[in-house]
């Protein structure tokens, strides 16, 4: 009887197993069906969200949630941004992947490849507009009455009055700048725009044009007032403008300018405002600039948030390449490596072009009419605070530790407090990594791998002792799941309280409020 019961149980078990077959193994086809949710954004009022749903291969979707259970999909949408007043969403629309693949197979030139479009969805009118061949678009952080974007210029109309011998190929310089008015849906277009910028507060759009003739190139600067919808020319001069930028309010503007006709141009920095023509403020002869240096076209130009400082990059004045009679293939080419080089040869090759374009941060104090060089070939990297408003900056020198980086994997540096008003540098920490400076510039905080602790030090010259912030705390502030042959990285710093009173530091699960004093 027991044997019969045991046999019955075995048969039942076999039946159950037969009804639950083994799970299917993953294959490459399964991987291809997975989708990735990317680039989520939320409107300022929290009423709408948007994100991309992209397959491993193929065309994705931009999904916009406009209600509690309402989702709208836009094929091939990406790089979306909501308007600051929550009244629209703008996004790029990729070309179908099949079209791009076919163009590549046909060896179509890069400039002739299928171009993205710009999509604008105005919620109040439920209006969707699309603009082909867009290159870039910008939305201000406030007062987005207009959306600004550039598109490839349309071909110049053919002149049918000329015969074949008289016709000449015409190349249109610059792009078409289009301004889309959100409220009405109207558009304005400015042709042959070589450079442009949109003020963060949305009050002004500045743009420049270049006109070439037999005598030279004339650059003109214009401003578009977004409140009146009117544009006006504010400056015109023979030469080349580059790196046009404005302050947040859209009242001040700056650009690089050169009248050199050679490729390797030496630039000067110009500054102006809506009530005054621009004037040259920095060139190669300005007091305080290193000998043989000028403002560089390879650096960025930015106003501080309060508009009192103008930051830009300087570098050695470019020299024209010497003329010779040798063909390129006749010139010897040789890579020389030495075992005491600061960087490995493959790294040198990868970074060669970037190093050629390296610039060094400088600042012009507008109210004081004073130039200060902040970075130099020794302290090559300087980071400003409080969106440029701070009186101090953090600089570092990594040169003494570059060789050991290739075998230690730790990017140690010597850190300096840089006085933005005078350019004076004072060392605050040596041979450290993971260093941060507080927003007001009162404290420096760093992580010490040797004892897995965070430390703080005042930037006050009379209080240079370092204090441990986390050594006595009963938790770990480093990545406990690290499985690489190197010191684990810290979880990091979450931020600071007002006036640098406290610093907030992560452990694996919590945030700790610590006193750096």
Distance CA 190, CA 179 (A): 9
Give CATH for domain 33-132.
2.120.10.30
Strand order in the sheet with 252-258: 240-246, 252-258, 268-273, 276-282
In the chain, ranges of CATH 2.120.10.30 domains? 33-132
Q: Measure the CA angle with vertex 13, ends 9 and 15; round to 5°.
A: 115
Distance CA 94, CA 78 (A): 7
pLDDT at 469: 96
Strand order in the sheet with 127-131: 77-82, 88-93, 117-122, 127-131
Phi, psi of 302 (to 5 degrees): -145, 140
pLDDT at 164: 53
- Cβ-based burial of 448 (10 A; exposed 0-12, middle 13-18, buried ≥19): middle
CB 295 within 8 A of CB 271: no
pLDDT at 171: 43
Report DSSP state, residue 207: E
pLDDT in tens, the chain (517 residues): 555 555 444 544 555 555 556 777 888 777 778 899 999 999 999 999 999 999 988 899 999 998 888 899 999 999 999 999 999 999 999 999 999 999 999 999 988 899 999 999 999 999 999 999 999 999 999 999 999 999 998 776 666 655 554 444 434 479 999 999 999 999 999 999 999 999 999 999 999 999 988 788 999 999 999 999 999 999 999 999 999 999 999 999 999 999 998 889 999 999 999 999 999 999 999 999 999 999 999 999 999 999 999 999 999 999 887 887 788 888 888 888 888 999 998 899 999 999 999 999 999 999 999 999 999 999 999 999 999 999 999 999 999 999 999 888 889 999 999 999 999 999 999 999 899 999 999 999 999 998 999 999 999 878 878 999 999 999 999 999 998 888 899 999 999 999 999 999 999 999 999 999 9
CB 254 within 8 A of CB 245: yes
Tokens of 30: 């399964």
> Among residues 195, 283, 282, 298, which one has the least CA distance to residue 244?
195
CA dihedral 89, 90, 91, 95 (to 10 degrees): 120
Tokens of 69: 């259970």
**How many other C-beta atoms can be found within 10 angstroms of the C-beta atom of residue 236?**
13
CB 206 within 8 A of CB 246: yes
How much is the pTM? Answer: 0.87
pLDDT at 156: 64
Cα 198 to Cα 86, 204, 207, 230, 245, distances in angstroms: 19, 6, 9, 15, 8
């Amino acid at each position: 009887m027991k044997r019969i019961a045991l046999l019955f149980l075995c048969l039942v078990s076999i039946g159950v197993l037969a009804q639950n077959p083994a799970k299917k193994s993953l294959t490459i086809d399964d991987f291809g069906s997975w989708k990735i949710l990317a680039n989520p954004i939320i409107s300022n009022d929290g009423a709408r969200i948007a994100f991309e749903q992209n397959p491993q291969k193929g065309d994705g979707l931009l999904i916009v949630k406009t209600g509690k259970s309402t989702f709208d999909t836009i094929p091939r949408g990406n790089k979306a941004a909501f308007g600051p007043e929550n009244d629209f969403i703008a996004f790029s629309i990729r070309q179908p992947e099949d079209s791009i693949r076919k163009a590549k197979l046909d060896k179509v030139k890069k400039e002739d490849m299928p171009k993205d479009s710009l999509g604008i969805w105005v919620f109040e009118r439920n209006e969707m507009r699309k603009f082909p061949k867009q290159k870039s678009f910008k939305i201000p952080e406030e007062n987005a009455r207009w959306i600004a974007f550039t598109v490839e210029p349309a071909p110049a109309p053919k002149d049918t009055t000329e015969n074949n011998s008289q016709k000449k190929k015409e190349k249109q310089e610059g792009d078409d700048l289009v301004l889309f008015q959100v409220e009405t849906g109207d558009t304005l277009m400015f042709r042959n725009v070589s450079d442009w910028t949109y003020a963060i507060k949305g009050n002004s759009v500045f743009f420049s044009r270049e006109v070439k003739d037999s005598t030279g190139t004339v650059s003109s600067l214009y401003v578009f007032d977004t409140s009146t919808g009117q544009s006006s020319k504010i400056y015109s001069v023979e030469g080349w403008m580059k790196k046009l930028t404005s302050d947040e309010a859209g009242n001040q503007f700056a650009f690089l300018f050169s009248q050199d006709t050679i490729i390797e141009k030496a630039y000067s920095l110009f500054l102006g405002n809506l009530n005054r023509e621009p004037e040259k403020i920095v060139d190669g002869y300005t007091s305080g600039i290193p000998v043989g240096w000028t403002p560089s076209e390879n650096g960025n130009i930015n106003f501080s948030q309060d508009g009192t400082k103008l930051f830009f990059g300087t570098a050695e004045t470019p020299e024209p390449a010497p003329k010779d009679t040798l063909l390129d293939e006749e010139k010897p080419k040789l890579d020389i490596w030495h075992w005491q080089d600061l960087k490995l040869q493959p790294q040198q090759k990868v970074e060669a072009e970037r190093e050629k374009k390296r610039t060094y941060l400088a600042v012009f104090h507008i109210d004081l009419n004073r130039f200060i060089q902040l970075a130099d070939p020794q302290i090559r990297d300087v980071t400003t605070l409080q969106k440029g408003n701070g009186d101090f900056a953090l600089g570092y020198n990594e040169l003494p530790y570059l060789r050991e980086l290739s075998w230690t994997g730790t990017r140690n540096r010597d850190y300096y407090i840089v006085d933005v008003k005078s350019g004076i540098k004072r060392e605050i920490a040596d041979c450290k990594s993971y260093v941060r400076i507080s927003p007001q510039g009162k404290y420096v905080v760093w992580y010490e791998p040797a004892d897995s602790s965070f430390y703080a030090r005042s930037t006050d010259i009379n209080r240079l002792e370092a204090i441990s912030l986390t050594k006595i705390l009963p938790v770990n502030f480093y990545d406990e799941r690290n499985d690489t042959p190197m010191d684990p990285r810290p979880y990091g710093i979450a931020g600071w309280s007002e006036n640098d009173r406290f610093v907030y530091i992560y452990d694996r699960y919590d945030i700790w409020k610590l006193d750096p004093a």
